[in-house]
Chain A
Amino acid sequence: DVVMTQSPLSLPVTLGQPASVSCRSSQSLVYSDGNTYLTWFQQRPGQSPRRLIYKVSNRDSGVPDRFSGSGSGTDFTLKISRVEAEDAGIYYCMQATHWPPTFGQGTKVEIK
């Protein structure tokens, strides 16, 4: 299985400051159709995961534009330009290029 490694695992952030989460895969995530199936999810305490970003950099409807995704091949990044209180939670990357889809361990974003 493809191993997804996130860093850091814990990220204390001051309100209004930027935050960045890294995700690395053990294999290239470029699929035979040319797409890269790397997705980011947010999970707030007590809630189901919510998709934020798909195919590396495409933001889901309703997701604030302070969230952005980038990367290629095996290295990917989720950035929050200015953290707000509602951004507290755990962020997961997931690859769906190879079966089975696999998730990173999660990065806990805490507001200082």
Chain B
Amino acid sequence: EVQLVESGGGLVQPGGSLRLSCVASGFTFSSYWMSWVRQAPGKGLEWVAKIKQDGSEKYYVDSVKGRFTISRDNAKNSLYLQVNSLRVEDTAVYYCARQGPGYWGQGTLVTVSS
């Protein structure tokens, strides 16, 4: 069974940083593109970033370029999102998702507030 389990969210002040993690199981992690997608409270979905199987290609939505960094460790079946210079509008549930995305994690909530 495919499982994606996110962690690392929390309450942070504007300008702060967090590192989100996603541990994958039930499939060959190194064979898939992986992504982060976010959803502000009560709002719709926004794709944040994606990374190729070997980490050689990374793509970001304009609103997070230069502030967020996606990475992966295939040996640990893990996906990461380093989020810096956080803004109030970055408040959202951040989902780890497998290519497609056909599978989603349960999400981790990031709240940016003073």
Contact = CB atoms under 8 A, between A and B. Distances in A.
Q: Do A and B come from one complex?
A: yes
Interface of A: 39, 41, 48-51, 54, 60, 92, 94, 99-106
B46 A103 contact: yes
Contacts of B44: 92, 103-106
Nearest to A106: B44
A99 to B, nearest CB: 6
A100 B47 contact: yes
A51 B102 contact: yes
Interface of B: 44-47, 59, 61-62, 95, 100-107
Nearest to A47: B106
Contacts of A60: 102
Nearest to A48: B104
A30 B60 CA distance: 22
A51 B101 contact: yes
A23 B101 CA distance: 18
A40 B113 CA distance: 33
A70 to B, nearest CB: 19
B45 A103 contact: yes
B105 A48 contact: yes
A41 B102 CA distance: 9
Contacts of B45: 41, 49, 92, 94, 103, 106
B61 A100 contact: yes
26 contacts: A41-B45, A48-B104, A48-B105, A48-B106, A49-B45, A49-B95, A50-B104, A51-B100, A51-B102, A54-B100, A54-B102, A92-B44, A92-B45, A94-B45, A99-B59, A100-B47, A100-B59, A100-B61, A100-B62, A101-B47, A102-B47, A103-B46, A103-B47, A104-B44, A105-B44, A106-B44
